[in-house]
Amino acid sequence: MKKTVFALLLAILAAGSVYAQDPGQTELEYNGWFRYTNQSKKFQVTDPTVSRSNIERNYLRASHRWSPQFFSKLSLDFLSSSSFADGAGVRIKDAYLDMALPIPDFTLTAGVQKHYFGLIYSWDYTHPDKSLADAQGVCASSDYGVTVNGFLPKGLGELQLGVYNGEGYKYTGSKVSVAPELLANLRVTPFAGIQVGASVFAKAKDFSTYKNDKKGRTSDGTKFELGDTANMSRFALAPMAKVALGPVSLTGEYIMYGYTREFSYYALNRDSAGAVTDSVLHAKSKGYAMSGIDLVPLVSLLGRKFEVFGRFSTWERKEESAEGAMEVNLDRSLMRYGAGFNYHFVRRSGGSKPGVAFQLAWIREQSRKEGADPVDTFMAQARLEWNHLFSAQQ
Amino acid sequence: MKKLLSIATLTAMVTTLVAGEVMVKGSDTMLNITQRLAEAFSATRPDITVSVAGGGSGVGINAVVNNEVQIGNASRAIKSKEISSARANGVNPVEYAIAVDGLCVITNEKNPVKKLTITQLGDIYRGKVKNWSEVGGPNKPVSLYGRQPNSGTFVFFREMAVKSEYAQSMRQMNGNSQIVEGVKADLGGIGYVGVGYVKDGGISVIELSSDGTNYSSPLDKSAVDAGTYPLARPLFQYTNGKVKGDAKAFIEFEMSPAGQKIVEEEGFFPLNKSLVEKNQGNL
């Protein structure tokens, strides 16, 4: 085991990590979040439906800068999950190469990298829960692709244009369709303390993959084939804004997300005994439209040691009915609100990133389903993060 | 809205850095010079304490953005990414130059090579040029002298001249004086030192050119002021908005004749006219 860990560390160091600023420098970084979650209906904290401790994040990152023009980063997520035989697995979260472009402050990035949509890519988990787009499955926080990233002159903002797989960093191989996702993101800071922006992505439907080649068999041995499924076209738009005034800030976004699912299926004809006699192929299309708001007010106190935050989110899901009308799916529409605080025992040098912090958050989720009880979640989290820079000459 | 403003004001008061104390953090290259300036300033203003810490230019800029210190030292200009991040957080970085950093490239005085282009200099320090005959000199192996990696000068020279990795053969010396002594005793030696260390005999200061046509010497103040000498750069301090109060008094002292005298004593170049004018516009 020790040998494996040592070999892994060496491999990471060899591959390169994080924000190494000078040529020849390599940086190693660790992010560890240890969380206790208590979830119950209507504040039944002593009679919870969920009460567990877990490692919410366990990232080891390594980056290397060869020269002012070339930089690479690798982030490995050592995640705990019952999906793996030993209760833990490894996922690649970042693995990319940055190349400086002839335009000042612009780079071309290729590999598994941030997905520059809405707040998800700059979400720094000041609130320990995920961003709205992440939580509602609009998109993943990173994906395979090629992007052009740049900063506008005089700190006026940032711009990203990208072509991604579109399925997210967890999906590879045959799970990836041939239709690329196109993305654009712009954030502008016209004045200190005011930031506005918008992101958009679109992915065309794709008939070349997701062919469902499974064959079914009824109990009496009659064979039939299933139709093609899940050929989706997706589109999302998310305007955002942030206002910062001294130690107080308010960050928010509005997400619009829609997709169309085209699929086919075989309706089975049966005889009086219930046995399948034959089948008829039907083709269908169904639209889905979602929208939501996410607001995070934050107040920093005691020289940014102590942060108090709130959270308010909504999510509404509409589905196309058989008659073609878009109807709200109340079971999957909700409102969330809550509050919490962070205490930073130590921040990393420069104060921009956490070092050792304690986070506590309460979130109430109220489904719009009639008669549904609110679900209260408490998260208590220790956040341990460090980095170390290695120079080539050391 | 009124309540929100009241809370903001109250919390701003709580988080305001202590009056009578100016905290400066950042560039290691600027650590010694800022400490000297702070000592001299405190002698004239004993009511104000200036504490200075290193950590690197990026750390200094981040410390201003995050309201950790009043002044961030940086031996490079703030990046667009950093300005963008600062502005999004309600911080407006304002730049002041306090000195000009310039490096002199020195060789043994018996070496006939007196001029080099930046490309040739880079080739020499990358180890591509191994013999002085390759750059018009005698048939003698090149001996490289430089600083240790924790030195800001090491990084500055690498960024400005080497533009890649130093050759493994470079001798990493503890300081400027050791480099001068090494080159004096080595006919094939070449090194880089601050302008304050080239007054001794036994060494030559190389004239440099970016384009292979116009050569200039770091000892020519007009070339440094005009920005034609390739190994010169301003050293900056950043504040959140236009500098005020005790921090303003300190920065004004740094820019004063007394402050600029210390700058020269520490081996840096004083501010030129255009930097002085730019500073005044930001005060």
Nearest CA distance, A105 vs chain B (angstrom): 7
Query: What H or E segment, with its residue span, contains residue B223?
Result: helix B221-226
pLDDT higher than 50, residue A239: yes
Residues composing chain B: 283
How far is it, in rounded angstroms, from Cα B237 to Cα A143?
Answer: 39
Q: When comparing pLDDT for A200 and A350, which is higher?
A: A200
Tokens of A353: 């990133």
CA distance A202 to chain B (A): 27
pLDDT at B9: 47
Least CA distance to B171: which residue of chain A?
A: A393
| A103 in B contact zone (CB under 8 Å) | no
DSSP string, A89-138: EEEEEEEEEEEE-SSTTEEEEEEEEE---TTGGG---SSSSPPHHHHTTS
Give the pLDDT of residue A20. 39
pLDDT of residue A35 exceeding 90, the answer is yes
Burial (CB count within 10 angstroms: exposed 0-12, middle 13-18, buried 19+), residue B175 = middle
Name which of B65, B87, B150 to mutate to probe chain A: the one with the most chain A Cβ atoms within 10 A of its Cβ: B87
Q: Is the pLDDT of residue A308 over 70?
A: yes
Contact B73, B30 (CB under 8 A): yes
Q: What angle do CA B276, B279, B280 make, to 5 degrees?
A: 90
CB-CB neighbors (< 8 A) of A391 in chain B: 149-150
Count the alpha carbons within 13 Å of B103 in the hemisphere toward its beta carbon: 26
Q: Give residue A230's pLDDT.
A: 59
Residue A391 pLDDT level (bands cut at 50, 70, 90): low
Q: Is the ipTM of this complex over 0.95?
A: no
Predicted pLDDT at A231: 62
Taking an 8 Å cut-off on Cβ atoms, the answer to whether B87 and A187 are in contact is no
CA distance A310 to chain B (A): 14
Q: Pick the residue with more confidence: A285 or B271?
A: B271
**B66/A350 touch (CB, cutoff 8 Å), yes or no:** yes
Residue A4 has pLDDT above 50, yes or no: no
Whether the Cβ atoms of residue B263 and residue B98 lie closer than 8 Å to each other: yes
pLDDT band with cut points at 50, 70 and 90 for residue A207: low
- For A233, other C-beta atoms within 10 Å of its C-beta total 16
- Nearest-CB residue to B80 (from A23, A152, A247): A152
> Per the CB < 8 Å rule, is B80 touching A153?
yes
* Statement: residue A68 has pLDDT above 60: yes
pLDDT grade for A6, boundaries at 50, 70 and 90: very low
Do A304 and B15 lie within an 8 Å CB cutoff? yes
Of all residues in chain B, the one with the smallest CA distance to A193 is B90
Range with the largest mean pLDDT of A301-305, B23-27, B64-68: B23-27
Choose, out of A154, A160, A189, the residue to mutate when testing the contact with B (most B CBs < 10 Å). Answer: A189
Higher-pLDDT residue of B49 and B11 is B49
> How far does B166 lie from chain A, in Å, by closest CA?
9
Average pLDDT of chain A to the nearest whole number: 86
Residues of chain B with CATH 3.40.190.10: 21-100+234-282, 102-226
End-to-end CA distance of chain B: 32
Distance from CA of B227 to the nearest CA of A (A): 21
Is the CB of A346 inside 8 Å of chain B's CB atoms?
no
Contact between chains at B84 and A157 (C-beta distance less than 8 A): yes
User: Is A247–B8 a contact, with Cβ atoms under 8 angstroms apart?
Assistant: yes
For residue A17, the model assigns a pLDDT of 32
Q: B11–A246: do the CB atoms touch at under 8 Å?
A: yes
As a whole number of angstroms, the distance between CA A67 and CA B158 comes to 10
Contacts of residue A298 in chain B, CB cutoff 8 Å? none
Instruction: Give the span between the Cα atoms of A208 and A201, in whole angstroms.
Output: 21
Q: Which residues pair with residue A21 across a beta bridge?
A: none
Contact B59 A350 (CB under 8 A): yes
Which range has the worst mean pLDDT, A225-229, A345-349, B76-80? A225-229
* Helix/strand/coil (H/E/C) assignment for every residue in B139-158: CCECEEEEECCCCHHHHHHH
Residues of A in contact with B81 (CB under 8 A): 105, 151, 158
Q: Which tokens go with A64?
A: 């290397």
Q: Which of A23, A249, A299 sits opposite B164 (nearest CB)?
A: A23
Whether A218 contacts chain B with CB within 8 A: no
Q: Which amino acid is residue B41, in one-letter code?
A: F
Phi, psi (degrees; rounded to nearest 5) at A77: -105, 105
Most confident range, picked from A272-286, B44-58, B118-132, B172-186: B118-132
Binning pLDDT at 50, 70 and 90, where does residue A219 land? low
> Maximum Cα–Cα distance for chain A, whole Å?
83
Phi, psi of B56 (to 5 degrees): 110, 155
Give the residue-averaged pLDDT of A12-36: 68
Residues of B in contact with A68 (CB under 8 A): 159, 163
CA-based nearest distance B129→chain A, Å = 20
Interface test with A, best of B89, B155, B174 (most A CBs within 10 A): B89
| Cα–Cα distance measured from residue A263 to residue A285, given in angstroms and rounded to the nearest whole number | 6
What is the CATH T-level fold of the domain B21-100+234-282, as seen in this structure? D-Maltodextrin-Binding Protein; domain 2 (3.40.190)
pLDDT tops 50 at residue B164:
yes
Q: Does A126 touch chain B (CB under 8 A)?
A: no
Predicted pLDDT of residue B163: 83
Judged by a CB distance cut-off of 8 A, whether residue A391 touches chain B is yes
The yes-or-no verdict on residue B142 having pLDDT over 60 is: yes
Share the mean pLDDT of chain B: 88
Nearest CA to CA, how far is A289 from chain B (Å)? 31
Judged on CB neighbours under 10 Å (0-12, 13-18, 19+), A344 is buried
Q: Do the Cβ atoms of A189 and B87 come within 8 Å?
A: yes
Angle between helix axes B245-255 and B257-265 (nearest 10 degrees) is 60
Residue A52 has pLDDT above 90, yes or no: yes
| B262: its two tokens | 């210390």
**For the structural domain made of B102-226, what CATH number should be given?**
3.40.190.10
Distance CA A42, CA B120 (A): 74
**What is the rounded distance in angstroms from the CA atom of residue A346 to the CA atom of residue A127?**
18
